[in-house]
A and B are shown apart, each in its own frame.
Chain A
Amino acid sequence: MLSKKQAKAFFLGGTVLFSAIFLALSVETVTSSMPEKTNDSQITEAVVRGKEIWDSNNCMGCHTILGEGAYYAPELTRVYSRKGESYIKTVLMAKEPWAPRGRKMVAYALSEEEANDAVAFFKWINEMDLNGFPPEPDPALSK
């Protein structure tokens, strides 16, 4: 039967081995594959300011982006191509809570420049290669 010593070796050995593999893959991801797939070189100052707006208002507390966040408001990964620039700006600059179907968004009343930065952020996100996410609906089902 397995002894306590062997069990300990299994735990320690496995931990070291799998941590090493994980670290190696992570280095590859963040230094090479991910910058390419996310168009890291196209992150302009406007995109960074846009991300700050996204972050400092905790937009992820209601929406999802890259499928991450909360499930109270729409997925925004492809919002740039779905809704277009002027729609996004209208929502963000609104002084009253935006609520086209009853559910209210916080009225951020952003300035025109801030709204442009947010749009730049969404545009950059829009171009990312996400291995097929979000999935396309099947038109045959909606007939």
Chain B
Amino acid sequence: MKYKSQKVAYWFFALSMLLIVLQITYGFIMGFAHMGFDGLHNIIPFNAARATHNNLLVVWLLSGFMGAAYYIIPEEAQQELVSVKLAYVQLITLALVGVTAVIGFHFNWWEGRKFLEIPRELDFLVVINVITFLGIILATLFKGKKQSTTAMVLTMGLVFAALLYLPGMIWFDNQGMDSFFRWWVVHLWVEGVWELIMGGILAFLLIKLTGVDREVIEKWLYVIVGLTFLSGILGTGHHYYYIGAPEYWLIIGGIFSALEPLAFLGMALFAIHMYRKGGRNHPNKTALFWTLGSAIVSFVGAGLLGLAHTLPQVNMYTHGTLVTAMHGHLAFWGAYGMIVFAMISYALPQLTGRKLYNTVTGLYGFWLSLIGMVGMTTAFGVAGVAQVYLERRIGLDFMVAQQEIEVHFLVLVLCATIFATGITMFIIDFVRYGQPNDEALIGEDEVNSLENA
């Protein structure tokens, strides 16, 4: 690391690790409930587990993105963060709001709006927290010596993500309208502005890991995020087919969302091509695995599995079934989970000065989590397709169909165990790196010689 203040990033990453463990725990609770073992029903009913699982996901990803920004922005802008103290305050308040929300879910304190369950009162605290974060990032960026494209795209993604949270805070009496604007948050995040965040992190990592010329990488970054908005904004229509919105969304949503995989294909080809083109043989192979992995798996999970149910003719039958869960898991993991893990893998040796680059645990952490998640996706997919036929095509009662597909949740839980083992290995490495320290500070020349080693 080159700037002392980059150390803040470490603690955001640590918070991410803590929350992902909790997220997975609640995932297991739901997996068992689907198998018929709902012994916790009285303390943690399914909807509490579900709200906790989804919101912890969002918070650990955001914490990871924030950590990434606190690491990347000083380096790109060549400027220490304007206030480290404020960044720590922001970290602690983020953790407090997150924990309060999750505890509240267990006491029926929430809003029944998928992904936006955090109650309105806490929403305002989230907004203040995010404004603090953006204030630090923007002030640092514009005080700095330069505003690189990578830093600008990353920051733009973060600013837009904050702005798009606001329409989700408006109350509507009409369930359809409520849903209409809920997607401004959820869809325009994951299929819009979060792709800018992912693209920015990906570009930063590729510049560092492959040594390809910045101008080339950033040019393609523009093309990719251009494709994202070209398809993803009107692609929001794929959530408007069946919620009481007019029929023109079937055509517009169908066509534009079917183009969305292009942006993810772009990410994958971009990463692979830059890797092949790059002359630099960076010693941190674990970070390289996660970086390329994220670009490729996001294309499969978000691009291909999204395409699988995005046309209105298909979505009519799959809408609101486990097919959605199949896609949701690999998409979130590939695009956003893995890019956060890539960033952490790259940053830890820099922050701590320890070069545990290519440990066995690091390697297995990558492969086991990937194999486990692909297995889970398959189990959800098989269960989902069976559900569609039994319930939507043949017309069996919901619960009769559920009992038919129960066995797939056994497979799901087994694969989830493989996934969790991979995550455990990653966390073991995280702990072994220890805390960041100033001895890891190095000058420009050393950075270059290290990276070209």
Chain A interface residues toward B at CB < 8 A: 2-4, 7-8, 10-11, 14-15, 18-19, 21-22, 25-26, 28-30, 33-35, 37-38, 40, 43, 47-48, 51, 54-62, 64-75, 97, 100-104, 106, 121, 125, 128-135, 137-139, 141-142
Docked complex Cα distance between A37 and B240 (Å): 13
**Main DSSP-derived SS at the B contact region:** helix
**In the bound complex, do residue B244 and residue A59 qualify as a contact, i.e. CB atoms below 8 Å apart?**
no
A4 contacts across to B, CB distance below 8 A: 149, 215, 218-219, 222
Docked complex Cα distance between A125 and B242 (Å): 12
Q: Is B236 an interface residue (CB 8 A)?
A: yes
Task: Tell me the nearest residue of chain B to A45, going by C-beta.
Answer: B173
Docked complex Cα distance between A73 and B112 (Å): 15
Q: Name the one of A22, A59, A64 contacting B320, with C-beta atoms under 8 angstroms.
A: A64
Chain B interface residues toward A at CB < 8 A: 30, 33-34, 36, 38, 41, 45-48, 50-51, 105, 108, 110-114, 117, 149, 173-177, 179-180, 215, 218-220, 222-223, 225-226, 229-230, 233-234, 236, 240-250, 252, 316-317, 319-322, 324-325, 387, 392-395, 398-400, 402-403
A33 contacts across to B, CB distance below 8 A: 245-246
Task: Tell me the nearest residue of chain B to A121, going by C-beta.
Answer: B175
Docked complex Cα distance between A101 and B247 (Å): 37
A7 contacts across to B, CB distance below 8 A: 219-220, 222-223, 226
Docked complex Cα distance between A132 and B218 (Å): 45
Q: Name the one of B34, B51, B177, B321 contacting A61, with C-beta atoms under 8 angstroms.
A: B51
Q: For the complex of A and B, list the 5 residue pairs with the smallest distance between their C-beta atoms, beginning with the closest.
A: A61-B47, A137-B395, A67-B320, A133-B242, A33-B246
Interface hub of B41, B149, B176, B400 (most chain A Cβ within 10 A):
B176
Q: How close is B45's CB to chain A, nearest CB, in angstroms?
A: 5
Q: How close is A107's CB to chain B, nearest CB, in angstroms?
A: 10
**In the bound complex, do residue A48 and residue B173 qualify as a contact, i.e. CB atoms below 8 Å apart?**
yes
Q: Name the one of B112, B175, B316, B320 contacting A57, with C-beta atoms under 8 angstroms.
A: B112
**In the bound complex, do residue A66 and residue B394 qualify as a contact, i.e. CB atoms below 8 Å apart?**
no
**In the bound complex, do residue A66 and residue B114 qualify as a contact, i.e. CB atoms below 8 Å apart?**
no
Task: Tell me the nearest residue of chain B to A37, going by C-beta.
Answer: B244
Known: A38-B244, A133-B316. A25 touches B252 (CB 8 A): yes
Q: Name the one of B246, B316, B324, B398 contacting A34, with C-beta atoms under 8 angstroms.
A: B246
Docked complex Cα distance between A30 and B242 (Å): 15
A129 contacts across to B, CB distance below 8 A: 244
Q: How close is A42's CB to chain B, nearest CB, in angstroms?
A: 10
Known: A70-B114, A97-B41. A62 touches B394 (CB 8 A): no
Q: How close is A19's CB to chain B, nearest CB, in angstroms?
A: 6
5 residue pairs A–B, Cβ–Cβ below 8 Å: A7-B220, A57-B108, A70-B50, A106-B45, A139-B395
**In the bound complex, do residue A19 and residue B233 qualify as a contact, i.e. CB atoms below 8 Å apart?**
yes
